[in-house]
Chains A and B, each alone.
Chain A
Amino acid sequence: MDLGYLNSRIRAWRGSLLDKEDYDSLIGARDIHGMVNYLKDGAYARDMEISAARNTNETDVIEGAIKGNLTRTFKNLWEYAPDEAGVLLKVIFSVWEVYNLKAVLRAKSKGVSPAESMTVLMPSGDMDESALKELNQQKDIFELANLLSTWGSPYAKPVKEGIRQYTRERHLAGIELGLDRFIHDYCLSVAMAAGGINGEIIKRFVRERIDSINISTLIKLSGDGILPANISDYFLEGGEVLDKDRFLMLAISKDTRVLLEGLANAVKDSRWKDAIISLESENIFFLEEQIEELTRQNLCRLAIIEPLSIALAICFIYTKIREIKNLRVIVRAKIFNMPVIEMKRFLILG
């Protein structure tokens, strides 16, 4: 698989990512207005202009520009990727594709207007803006499933399977769980089929993602009083850190501290272990971000070792996402006058 052209484009795009100086200027900006002025001159200039035409509030302008920039990055990646690399990139974009599907399903189920639900969607991969508009305009979940079938989308199968339960109980959770399970199985099968170094990289990436999701699910379930019979439904197969028995054993721990100790013992990677041990009880949510950052760092290392592989694309995507998250943290911190020291605790500057 020749990824030379795509990788050279990505290397060029990497040059426009925010560096330490940019972050220092943004953190040091007096207020949102200062941030807007700074972003208007850099890599976000185009997106800021588009967003400024649509929004009047400065916070909305930045939020709109950030989202626009990420959408454009995804679109560029998707367009420049050769056909054979598209299958691998789909593995990365699948997270957003499933998110978009779930968002549309939720909107249809809860009676949210298409205009409102359109604003929360994130065009990515096969689900570009026009595809999302089409999905969003469907009358109900049944029509949506039929449309997916017509498109020959791989997501049609899990949605159709979940619809039977939805018709009986009017609960979306069944369809969502089906989609979540399907997508990880699908990604693993794609990685296996791809073979070679790219297949290995994707496999490793998906396995880490599964482990990260299983750990996050365990924390979400701790102390939730969920029925033990239902816990196994939330386990994703395919990870390396946690097997099903260990997952079930840890899931019944009522105290989050006990759970974290159990997780620290289960995890072999010392950096993951450190992240779990050093967690503050009030900021447990930050573990997801830390694990995502560790995965990103692994991929960026792989991109150096294997410069012509798909690792560079994944590394770039996750670095971009981190940049977006950092920008959003700075925006929120500026709005709520969060002290710089406190703000920096939640910034991950790779």
Chain B
Amino acid sequence: MEKFSPTRINLLLLNTQISVLKSGARLLRSKRDALMKDFFRYIEECLDLRSRLNSQMKDSTRKLQFARAFLGDTIFSTAHASKRDISLDIKIKNVWGINIPEIEKKAFVRSMDARDISPIGEGMLATDTAKNFEKAVDAIVSIALSEIRLKRIGEEIKADTRRINALEELVMPYIRDNIKAIERVLEEREREGIYRLKRYKHVRGTGYFFCKKVACPFRSRAGKP
């Protein structure tokens, strides 16, 4: 770390730095608290979505197995007919400086008209299974959005905690140590100055000066050797 020369200007500089760091740490802590609040809110939402997805997948798989049992290979033909590309509109939203992707909500569950098959010859299980899996896709997209948001917020909380710790445990103590060291040196210097002044005053009062061998301006003034 940087070494500071023990000057008054550095002391002032370090004092300013420490007050800036203190307010920075305070800001980071309040940001982390706000993120934590959001994090716990999203955790609930995420858990809710996850359990919804689990039950949806369980239901869909159960239906699919029944469809394979009662409809045989015809379910594959329904799957061929239901093939489609799904496009997602993803926008980036900035929350507390974090870039969170926002997926535009779309209805993935199609009506019978939109499925492009004739419902007349299709087994009830086939359309039911298709609908169930479309609901599962819906849940997957929702949970993807929610989990990405949760992950980003979690990462940000971790980064903020790291920053706060670095500030409070490393940078600020170091600067405080430096301030103390500079203060100590300055106090020492001040004491030396005072001592020097006192000595001078004493020497001046007694007329004796320790510099005997050199020409001393005080000597002539005092009028004594």
- Cα separation A9 to B83 with both chains bound (whole Å): 43
Give the chain A neighbours of B74 by CB distance below 8 A. Answer: 99, 103, 120, 122
Give the chain A neighbours of B123 by CB distance below 8 A. Answer: 216, 285, 288
CB <8 Å contact, B119 and A106:
no
A162 to chain B, nearest CB (A): 10
A234-B76 contact in complex given A106-B81, A285-B128, A329-B69, C-beta closer than 8 Å: no
Q: How many residues of A contact B (CB 8 A)?
A: 52
17 A-B pairs (CB sep. < 8 Å): A103-B77, A103-B80, A106-B117, A120-B73, A173-B117, A180-B120, A217-B120, A224-B111, A224-B112, A234-B112, A285-B124, A288-B125, A324-B72, A325-B69, A325-B70, A328-B72, A336-B65
Give the chain A neighbours of B69 by CB distance below 8 A. Answer: 325, 328-329, 331-332, 346
A103 to chain B, nearest CB (A): 4
Interface residue from A224, A225, A236, A346 paired with B120 (Cβ < 8 Å): A236
CB <8 Å contact, B120 and A102:
no
* Chain B: CB-nearest residue to A95: B121
Report A93-114 CB contacts with B as 1/0, cut-off 8 Å: 0010011001100110110100
- Cα separation A230 to B113 with both chains bound (whole Å): 8
Kindly state whether residue B116 has any CB partner on chain A within 8 Å.
Answer: yes
Give the chain B neighbours of A234 by CB distance below 8 A. Answer: 112, 118-120
* Chain B: CB-nearest residue to A324: B72
- Cα separation A336 to B64 with both chains bound (whole Å): 12
A284-B72 contact in complex given A99-B77, A171-B116, A224-B111, C-beta closer than 8 Å: no
Kindly state whether residue B66 has any CB partner on chain A within 8 Å.
Answer: yes
Kindly state whether residue A220 has any CB partner on chain B within 8 Å.
Answer: yes
- Cα separation A287 to B121 with both chains bound (whole Å): 15
The 3 closest A-B pairs by CB, nearest first: A176-B118, A103-B77, A180-B120
Kindly state whether residue B122 has any CB partner on chain A within 8 Å.
Answer: yes
B195 to chain A, nearest CB (A): 93
Give the chain B neighbours of A336 by CB distance below 8 A. Answer: 65
Give the chain A neighbours of B122 by CB distance below 8 A. Answer: 220
Kindly state whether residue B127 has any CB partner on chain A within 8 Å.
Answer: yes
A322 to chain B, nearest CB (A): 10
A328-B68 contact in complex given A99-B77, A120-B74, A122-B73, C-beta closer than 8 Å: yes
Q: How many residues of B contact A (CB 8 A)?
A: 30
Interface residue from A122, A227, A328 paired with B70 (Cβ < 8 Å): A328
B121 to chain A, nearest CB (A): 5
* Chain A: CB-nearest residue to B61: A336
A227-B83 contact in complex given A180-B118, A285-B66, A331-B69, C-beta closer than 8 Å: no
Report B45-81 CB contacts with A as 1/0, cut-off 8 Å: 0000000000000000001011011101110110011
CB <8 Å contact, A332 and B66:
yes
A220-B127 contact in complex given A98-B121, A99-B77, A180-B121, C-beta closer than 8 Å: yes
- Cα separation A99 to B123 with both chains bound (whole Å): 11
CB <8 Å contact, A112 and B80:
yes
Known: A220-B119, A325-B70, A331-B69. 4 other contacts (CB 8 A): A102-B121, A103-B74, A107-B80, A216-B123
- Cα separation A336 to B116 with both chains bound (whole Å): 32
CB <8 Å contact, A329 and B70:
yes
* Chain B: CB-nearest residue to A213: B120
Give the chain A neighbours of B119 by CB distance below 8 A. Answer: 217, 220-221, 234
CB <8 Å contact, A220 and B77:
no
- Cα separation A51 to B63 with both chains bound (whole Å): 26
Kindly state whether residue A130 has any CB partner on chain B within 8 Å.
Answer: no
- Cα separation A172 to B113 with both chains bound (whole Å): 11
* Chain A: CB-nearest residue to B115: A173
CB <8 Å contact, A172 and B66:
no
- Cα separation A180 to B120 with both chains bound (whole Å): 7
Interface residue from B65, B120, B125 paired with A332 (Cβ < 8 Å): B65
A215 to chain B, nearest CB (A): 10
Kindly state whether residue A3 has any CB partner on chain B within 8 Å.
Answer: no
CB <8 Å contact, A106 and B80:
yes
Kindly state whether residue A226 has any CB partner on chain B within 8 Å.
Answer: yes
Give the chain B neighbours of A157 by CB distance below 8 A. Answer: none
A211 to chain B, nearest CB (A): 13
Kindly state whether residue A117 has any CB partner on chain B within 8 Å.
Answer: yes
CB <8 Å contact, A226 and B70:
no
* Chain B: CB-nearest residue to A180: B120
- Cα separation A106 to B78 with both chains bound (whole Å): 8
Kindly state whether residue A18 has any CB partner on chain B within 8 Å.
Answer: no
CB <8 Å contact, B120 and A110:
no
B134 to chain A, nearest CB (A): 12
- Cα separation A99 to B71 with both chains bound (whole Å): 12
Kindly state whether residue A159 has any CB partner on chain B within 8 Å.
Answer: no
B81 to chain A, nearest CB (A): 4
Give the chain A neighbours of B120 by CB distance below 8 A. Answer: 176-177, 180-181, 213, 217, 234, 236
A213 to chain B, nearest CB (A): 6
CB <8 Å contact, B70 and A173:
no
- Cα separation A325 to B70 with both chains bound (whole Å): 5
